[in-house]
Amino acid sequence: MSSLLNVTIGELLKQKAELHPDHEAVVYADRNLRLSYKEFDDQCNLVAKGLMRLGINKNDHIAIWATNTPEWLTCQFATGKMGGVLVTVNTNYRTSELEYLLRQSDSKTIILMENYRTASYIDMIYEICPELKESEAGNLTSTRLPELKNVIVLGETRYPGTYNWNDLLLLGNEVADEELEKRLMSLDPNDVINMQYTSGTTGFPKGVMLTHNNIVNNGYNIANCMKLTKEDRLCIPVPFFHCFGCVLGTMACVSVGATMVPIQEFNPSEVLQTVQDEKCTGLHGVPTMFITELNLADFDKYDLSSLRTGIMAGSNCPIEVMKGVINKMGATEITIAYGQTESSPVITQTRTNDPIELRVETVGRALPNVEVKIVDPITNKVVKNGEQGELCTRGYHVMKGYYKNPDATKEAIDEDGWLHTGDLAVMDDNGYCKITGRLKDMIIRGGENIYPREIEEFLYAHPKILDVQVIGVPDEKYGEEIMAWIIPKEGENISIEEVREYCKDKISHHKIPRYVEITDSYPMTASGKIQKYLLRRQAIELVGNKNH
């Protein structure tokens, strides 16, 4: 079993910069930005000193609200050096969500981009903090956000009451290197260094507190499962604000000295162009990303021969998509990872040499130094291999807890240190796990337990279907009925009758969807997760209207 690293994020980067100073650390192909490990480390040191000059202490909270910009990446490692806790903000947030997060997290500083798509982040911060317009930079006194003092804007423009990125770099020059070194040496690998808010698919989002130890070791173990080395170049189109980007992506790379090749905002043709031009050996994505890449009309024009590995995660990985990534993209060693933010995030992962069956039918086995057990959700007793139960995990990777929410923490982590994931799974004799559903996604129709995943996998094989999501909707007679939301492949039309006919005699009668809705998109979180609860809400309205 590989031993655990006992370093802070800041020390880890410093070590790699000393070991491979001239090796490429970061490449932004679209802006021709290339930094060696030494240059990247220097940049992070400067930003860390700038944050210290603003009076930000160890354990103070620094929110960052931006897409995968070079500054985001720098902040991740700069805070890892000066001990500020990086609070990651979902790029799709709007004013009420942002205000909630800033208030609940007690953030002292926010670093934000000017706008994203059609949303002006500047307008939103002024709406929440109207006092900012009249404030001196660094001296905000906000009624609604009493802790917030500093607003730093990524860009050249100087807005009233704010610093811009260049101000931060200039401030960094006013702090001695020795001061930063002293701060770095005062950090402990068990300190909280990152806070991420759970998607909030139910109730208010909770701030997951992750330590250096959580993130560094998870990144390192993930890298080893992918056989990632210094020679690899990983294309990272998944958002940094999510663990997929900043742990499976950036942290995995830095843990072994590999090259990070981020994509600022996901665009399928840009991803494939970047893989081709930068000869990337790895590619990350959620299934929907891989689906759009594989279905590009000009897919065949890209040379993806450098691809070897990567990770598909974030939601169920359909078998057909996995086959496409292996056979058409050539990522023969692609792995599947499974986990959640509370486990920083990966619990299980397939290995590069696993046969394709294991890589499409399971989410792999536990990472090194990670325990996994499957328990009966009612009795909490471990079930036999092959029996379904709730997946629980214990080890270095389990979060410190939810910020200012001891009750929710107690609910998630039992007194023996086991994190209860809320996911239903089956484990085989070799420890490989199959995720069979969410405790709360399960459909109970006339007393029969139905797992949407099973029906989704079945419908996926239909030649006209691009994507499918199955949910339960309330029903007077059966308690719940099944509804399938289907996105057809481009240029294809599929009728409800066709779907039902396809199911007939192939799956149990009670599993055939009573309702079928054809759509062109699903409600998504910014990290690419499908929000089934929103689909359910839409479904209840639709079904209600159909039944009246």
| CATH number of the domain enclosing 128 | 3.40.50.12780
Q: Region 290-310: what's the mean pLDDT?
A: 97
Most confident range (mean pLDDT) of 83-87, 436-440, 443-447 is 83-87
Q: How far is CA 453 from CA 63, 272, 442, 525, in A?
A: 36, 29, 9, 19
Give the model's pLDDT for residue 9: 98
Strand 119-120 relative to strand 85-88, pairing:
unpaired
- Rounded Cα–Cα distance for residues 75 and 84 (Å): 10
Give the model's pLDDT for residue 202: 47
Query: What is the tens place of the pLDDT at every residue in 340-391?
Result: 999 999 999 999 999 988 988 899 999 999 999 999 987 899 999 999 999 9
Domain count, the chain: 2
Q: Which two tokens stand for residue 180?
A: 């930063």
Query: What is the tens place of the pLDDT at every residue in 93-151?
Result: 889 889 999 999 999 999 999 999 999 999 999 999 999 999 999 999 999 999 999 99
Where in the sequence is the domain holding 481, given as residue range(s)? 443-546
Supply the CATH number for residue 458's domain: 3.30.300.30
Contact 24, 34 (CB under 8 A): yes
Q: Residue 486: what are its φ and ψ, rounded to 5°?
A: -120, 135
Residue 426 lies in a domain: no
Q: How far is CA 73 from CA 41, 162, 177, 187, 239, in A?
A: 11, 21, 21, 20, 11
Residue 44 lies in a domain: yes
Q: Residue 277: what are its φ and ψ, rounded to 5°?
A: -70, -35
- Residue 203: band (very low, low, confident or very high) from pLDDT cuts 50, 70, 90: low
Contact 102, 65 (CB under 8 A): no
CA dihedral sign, ordered 350, 355, 361, 365 = negative
More confident position, 153 or 446: 153
Which strand (E) or helix (H) includes residue 234? strand 233-236
- Domain end residue (candidates: 181, 197, 213): 197
Neighbours of 372 (CB within 10 A): 20
- Rounded Cα–Cα distance for residues 321 and 310 (Å): 14
- Domain end residue (candidates: 197, 225, 253): 197
Contact 399, 342 (CB under 8 A): yes
Residue 360 lies in a domain: no
Residue 131 lies in a domain: yes
Residue 106 lies in a domain: yes
CA angle 330, 336, 339 (to 5 degrees): 155
Contact 151, 112 (CB under 8 A): yes
DSSP state of 280: -
Give the model's pLDDT for residue 59: 98
Give the model's pLDDT for residue 444: 76
Contact 340, 316 (CB under 8 A): no
Q: For every residue of 408-467, which 3-state class applies, written as one string?
A: HHHHHECCCCCEEEEEEEEECCCCCEEEEEECCCCEEECCEEECHHHHHHHHHCCCCEEE
Q: Percent of the chain, pLDDT > 90?
A: 80
- Domain end residue (candidates: 148, 165, 197): 197
Q: Which two tokens stand for residue 280?
A: 């990337």
Query: What is the tens place of the pLDDT at every residue in 219-272?
Result: 999 999 999 999 999 999 999 999 999 999 999 999 999 999 999 999 999 999
Residue 324 lies in a domain: no
Residue 503 lies in a domain: yes
Contact 374, 391 (CB under 8 A): yes
CA angle 518, 449, 393 (to 5 degrees): 100
| Identity of the amino acid at 168 | L
- Rounded Cα–Cα distance for residues 265 and 239 (Å): 8
Query: What is the tens place of the pLDDT at every residue in 4-46?
Result: 999 999 999 999 999 999 999 999 999 999 999 999 999 999 9
Residue 382 lies in a domain: no
Give the model's pLDDT for residue 531: 84
More confident position, 237 or 314: 237
Give me the torsion for CA of 329, 334, 336, 341, rounded to 10°: -90
Strands (E), 252-307: 259-262, 282-285
DSSP state of 240: T
Give the model's pLDDT for residue 530: 86
Give the model's pLDDT for residue 53: 98
- Rounded Cα–Cα distance for residues 325 and 460 (Å): 15
Q: What is the mean pLDDT of the chain?
A: 93
Q: Residue 455: what are its φ and ψ, rounded to 5°?
A: -70, -40
Give the model's pLDDT for residue 320: 84
Give the model's pLDDT for residue 1: 56
Give the model's pLDDT for residue 433: 97
Contact 247, 229 (CB under 8 A): no
Pick from 167, 175, 252, 183: nearest CA to 218: 252
Query: What is the tens place of the pLDDT at every residue in 456-510?
Result: 988 999 999 999 999 999 988 788 899 999 999 999 999 989 999 999 878 878 8
Q: How far is CA 42 from CA 78, 180, 446, in A?
A: 10, 12, 63
Give the model's pLDDT for residue 201: 44
Residue 548 pLDDT > 70, yes or no? Answer: no
Q: Give me the count of residues in the chain.
A: 548
Residue 447 pLDDT > 70, yes or no? Answer: no
Residue 545 pLDDT > 80, yes or no? Answer: no
